[in-house]
Structure 1
Amino acid sequence: MAHEPEAQDRGQRPGERLARLLRRWWEEAGSASGGTRPTQQALASRLGIDQTTLSRYLNPKHASTAPPRVVEALHAHLRAPAAELERARELCRAVLEENRGQAAAVDGPEPADAASAADAAGGTGGRDTPGRPGRSRWALPALVAAVTVLSFAAGAVVRDQYVPHPRTAPDGVAAGAVPASGAPLEWPLLMKREGDQFTRGRALQHLLRAHGYEVKADGFFGAGTRDAVMDFQRRNNLPSDGKVGEDTWPELVVPLGRGADGHAVLALQELLHNAGQGGTEVSGEFTAATTEDLRFFQNSHGLRPNGRADVDTWLALLVFQRAPAGAPAYQRSTSPLPSTPA
């Protein structure tokens, strides 16, 4: 039976209302048919996300919001009332609209408002007065001043995009929090070492393959990956130290959009899948679903939701990666584990 919106939902933000609805779906699963409610661990496994991420989506007090495809999958797996699916979709859309509204409030006036700002600065109200100089005298200087102000504001917005909205990382650290120093996000540093470097390492190797290097995308930064990095650095007039940091990442990442394919898209999709929102298909083809997931990530981290992988989006994706709770699937299917030769 479909439920009416609960009284406690009133006054709550769309993200909280969505989480409360999803949690009710889970708590009531199996009651109507006499079945057994799935554990969160089992449900997360069916959805292709980790249990911690699912718990956040079901927690109204947490800032994480389930993306539309995860909401639809939960509705199907939990056999929730059919009438409530559209309500959940509306709440997803409301969350995105709320995020866009917050971004617009930060952006300030649109460039199209420059002319009206110039009129106000000129004091003519947009009309010439007989016997007095009107637009011809004041419009150009005022327009220049207005454009200067807007340019400064735009620069501030671009800078602010490096500081995402606060979110809780898997280790309990505020993953999107502004550092005490006020510094922007920093590119992660990868280098040759023992052990799997997980999704960041695989993304690096996929990007190297996109640039023509035959390296294995296994997450292990061994001698072969180091040599490829050093050659890439030499070819791009970078310090050839074999370390991938703030100088090398911006040259390695590739602008991507709908219709792209290949290893760079694999890197993007693996990072999206492991960013905590769950469920991104890793196919090597930049599909409509990839665009939707990318826009959701951008909205969630204070970036412009254009659905394209620009440098700022790559940076945020590489920063907000989750460590695996256990051995990743590619490790479990590999025996023995890849080695890192000297």
Structure 2
Amino acid sequence: MTHERESPHPEQPGAELAALLRRWWEGTGGAFDGRRPTQQALAARLGIDQTTLSRYLNPKHTSTAPPGIVEALHAHLRAPASELDRARSLSRAALEWNSRQRAVCPGPADRTTSGSTGPDGASTAGVSTRPAGRGPRFRRARPFLALAVTAAVSFAAGLYADGGLVPAGQAGTGSGQRGAAGAGASARTDQADRADRTDRASEEWPLLYMDKNAVDRYAWGRALQYLLKEHGYDVRADGRFEETTHEAVMDFQEKHQLQADGKVGNHTWPELLEQVAPGDTGPAVRAVQDLLNNVGLGATAVSGHFTAATAEDLKLFQRTHGLPVTGRTDRATWLALLVNQRPPVGSPDYQRPENRSPVPPT
């Protein structure tokens, strides 16, 4: 008999999502009539492990099933078409709620370990220290906090000058007050610039280089290759950092006055970046889509066309990682996408021969 189970957290969107997904599964038929798939079989169809699926379908817990999994469950279980939009909305809301909770009360899994600094100024540790499907959160809170404190102090200093408390000899003169205000504005600009430089100096970009023992970087490697293609280099976006990619990187570094060592890290990634937005096309768009496809929030179509669906997926990623929700890329979004990649497991579905995308990936 199909029935709803009361969740211990009814106010959370994940609780309603778990009850809805459970109802879809139970609604396919009885446990022994052969119509309802076992959770093991269903997990295999979805490409996830059974434990993860069980958490998604358990009304006693809050579900964090990403939109891609929700859509796949809807299709496999032949759930009512009228309930799909509601399920998508609950999925996004649950992921956002879960992200806010991690930000307020980070657990051990949310912390990363520090490591040594490798070639090109990139950290060689702390990139993939959390379980699959939960990459480390974007780690720039301290610089942003410093910037906020600096701005607040500078703003107070500006008010102090504007209120007429200016050095002796300037009181009562409009030009003196304007001069003090101008000096305050200049100081605020200089402080903001210094804070921004400090913020960027603390960035830890993934380090990629040719290594005969580890040529497969997959998502990171494909992003690099797509960006190289955007800059006119004829490389194949297969994620394998081999000789052709190495030579393209060195040529790019020489042309941009970087150390031409073939290593892609803190100094080379920022030069490669291209800002993309809805309506754009090309390899850089593929790079964004491929990275989104591998952050655990659900499947993103890798087409090279920045569609409305791509924008929505990017907004969801930005919301769940505390970034400005713009639906377009900037430096912070690129960095967060790269840092939060799940461990490489091979080529993505759209690159496999049995499931080619309508537009070839390279």
TM-score by length of 2: 0.62
1:79 aligns with 2:97: no
Q: Match for 2:28 among 22, 27, 30?
A: 30
* Equivalent of residue 186 in structure 1, options 204, 222, 243: 204
State how far apart, in whole Å, the 2-side matches of 1:41 and 1:157 are: 51
Return closer, same or farther for 1:28/1:221 CA change in 2, 3 Å cut-off.
Answer: same
The whole-number CA distance in structure 1 between the counterparts of 2:3 and 2:179 is 60
Q: Is the aligned partner of 1:224 residue 2:244?
A: yes
Partner residue in 2 for 1:88: 87
Q: Quick one: distance in 2 between partners of 1:6 and 1:276?
A: 27
1:200 to 189, 201, 220: 220
Aligned pair partner of 2:343 in 323, 327, 341:
323
* Equivalent position of 1:280 in the other structure: 300
> Aligned residues: percent identity?
49
2:77 and 2:342 map into 1 onto residues whose CA distance is 26
Q: CA–CA distance in 2 between the matches of 1:288 and 1:208?
A: 25
Q: Contact 1:29–1:38 at 8 Å: present in 2 too?
A: no
Given that 2:294 and 2:342 are in contact with CA atoms closer than 8 Å, whether structure 1 keeps it comes out as yes
Q: 8 Å contact 2:249–2:264 — kept in the other structure?
A: yes
Deviation at 1:66, TM superposition (A): 3.7
Contact map agreement 2:100 2:320 (CA 8 A) in 1: no
Q: Cα–Cα, structure 1 residues 18 and 7, in superposed 2: closer, same or farther, change >3 Å?
A: closer
Q: In structure 2, which of residues 235, 238, 257 is the aligned counterpart of residue 237 of structure 1?
A: 257
Structure 2 residues not aligned, in runs of 5+: 105-144, 164-171, 355-362
In the alignment, which residue of structure 1 is the partner of 2:19? 21
CA contact (8 A) 2:274 2:284 kept: yes
Instruction: Kindly indicate whether residue 8 of structure 2 is the aligned counterpart of residue 8 of structure 1.
Output: yes
Q: 1:192, CA displacement in angstroms?
A: 0.6
Structure-2 separation of matches of 1:192 and 1:7: 50
| CA–CA separation in structure 2 for the residues paired with 1:52 and 1:43 | 5
**Shift in Å at residue 245 of structure 1?**
0.4
Does structure 1 conserve the Cα–Cα contact (< 8 Å) formed by 2:282 and 2:304? yes
- How far residue 304 of structure 1 moved from its aligned partner, in angstroms, is 1.1
Question: In structure 2, the residue corresponding to 1:8 is in which secondary structure?
Answer: coil
CA offset at residue 75 of structure 1? 2.5
Counterpart of 1:171 in structure 2 is: none
Instruction: Determine if contact 2:218/2:346 at 8 Å carries over to the other structure.
Output: no
Match of 1:65 in 2: 64
Work out the CA distance in 1 between the residues paired with 2:80 and 2:223: 40
Instruction: State the alpha-carbon separation in 2 of the partners of residues 51 and 28 from structure 1.
Output: 19
User: Does the C-alpha gap of structure 1 residues 145 and 28 become closer, same or farther in structure 2, counting only changes over 3 Å?
Assistant: farther
Unaligned segments of structure 1, at least 5 residues? 124-132, 163-182, 335-342
Contact 1:100–1:299 (8 Å) recurs in 2: no
Question: Take 1:36 and 1:253, find their aligned partners in 2: how far apart are those partners?
Answer: 47
- Seen in structure 2, the aligned counterparts of structure 1 residues 3 and 310 have a Cα distance that, compared at 3 Å, is farther
Change (3 A) 1:153 1:4: farther
User: Structure 1 residues 45, 254: CA separation in 2 closer, same or farther (over 3 Å shift)?
Assistant: farther
CA distance in 2, matches of 1:234, 1:320: 29
Give the whole-Å Cα distance in 2 for the aligned partners of 1:228 and 1:119: 53
Change beyond 3 A, Cα 1:314–1:76: same
CA–CA separation in structure 2 for the residues paired with 1:237 and 1:62: 53
Q: How far did 1:139 drift?
A: 11
The 3 A distance-change label for structure 1 pair 4 and 326 is same
- RMSD value, Cα: 4.9
Paired residues, number: 295
Deviations, residues 67-93 of structure 1 (Å, cap 9, x unaligned):
445434423332335665454345346
Task: Evaluate the alpha carbon distance shift between residue 72 and residue 186 of structure 1 in structure 2; reply closer, same or farther with a 3 A threshold.
Answer: same
Give the distance between the partners of 2:194 and 2:77, measured in 1 at CA.
Answer: 46
Name which of 261, 266, 279 aligns with 1:246: 266
Mapped to 2, the partners of 1:9 and 1:248 lie a distance apart of 46
Please list the CA deviations of residues 236-273 of structure 1 after superposition, one character each: whole Å capped at 9, or x if unmatched: 11110010000000011110000111111111111110
Q: How does 1:72-151 map to 2 (within 5 A)?
A: 72-81=71-80, 84-85=83-84, 87-92=86-91, 94-95=93-94
Query: How much has 1:299 moved relative to structure 2?
Result: 1.0
Moved more, 271-280 or 80-89: 80-89
